[in-house]
């Protein structure tokens, strides 16, 4: 099996495949070096934040339940990475810190509050 890209996704996929079936032959191919490109520039953060518009996603086949399930899986994925690093002795310098939103104007504060209400609606 060949995985193209030695970033977080490629390495995680290779690790997952080999964990599920150690007999597999897996190669990771990267143009320059592992972690080069976007993986090397993201600062090493890991997030369970929803990528995209929940309302739009809910219009697909999975509906609202699918969006809620996706959000829960994103959060569980973060915990999964942390757990695997601990079990495998991987020193990933993990610091669990959450997400911080800052407002300097009343309009920004209202957008943050609206975002929080929206997050709670999908919980």
pLDDT grade, residue 28 (50/70/90)? very high
Both 64 and 111 in one domain: the answer is yes
Both 64 and 108 in one domain: the answer is yes
Is the Cβ–Cβ distance between 50 and 74 less than 8 Å?
A: yes
pLDDT given at position 40: 67
What's the domain count of the chain?
A: 2
Both 31 and 62 in one domain: the answer is no
Is the Cβ–Cβ distance between 98 and 116 less than 8 Å?
A: no
pLDDT in tens, 57-107: 999 889 999 999 999 999 998 999 899 999 999 888 888 888 889 999 999
Both 22 and 78 in one domain: the answer is no
Say what the pTM is: 0.71
Both 54 and 99 in one domain: the answer is yes
- Domain range for residue 22? 1-44
Mean pLDDT, residues 39-45: 69
Both 58 and 108 in one domain: the answer is yes
Both 13 and 51 in one domain: the answer is no
């Amino acid at each position: 099996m060949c995985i193209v890209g030695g970033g977080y996704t490629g390495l995680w996929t290779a690790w997952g495949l080999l964990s599920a079936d150690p007999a597999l032959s897996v190669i990771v191919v990267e143009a320059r070096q592992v972690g080069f490109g976007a993986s090397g520039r993201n600062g090493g953060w890991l997030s369970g934040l929803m990528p995209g518009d929940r309302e739009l996603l809910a219009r697909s086949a999975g509906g609202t339940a699918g969006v809620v399930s996706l959000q829960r899986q994103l959060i569980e994925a973060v915990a999964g990475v942390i757990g695997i690093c601990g079990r495998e002795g991987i020193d990933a310098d993990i610091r669990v810190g959450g997400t911080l939103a800052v407002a300097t104007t009343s309009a920004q504060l209202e957008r943050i509050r609206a975002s929080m209400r929206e997050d709670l609606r999908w919980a």
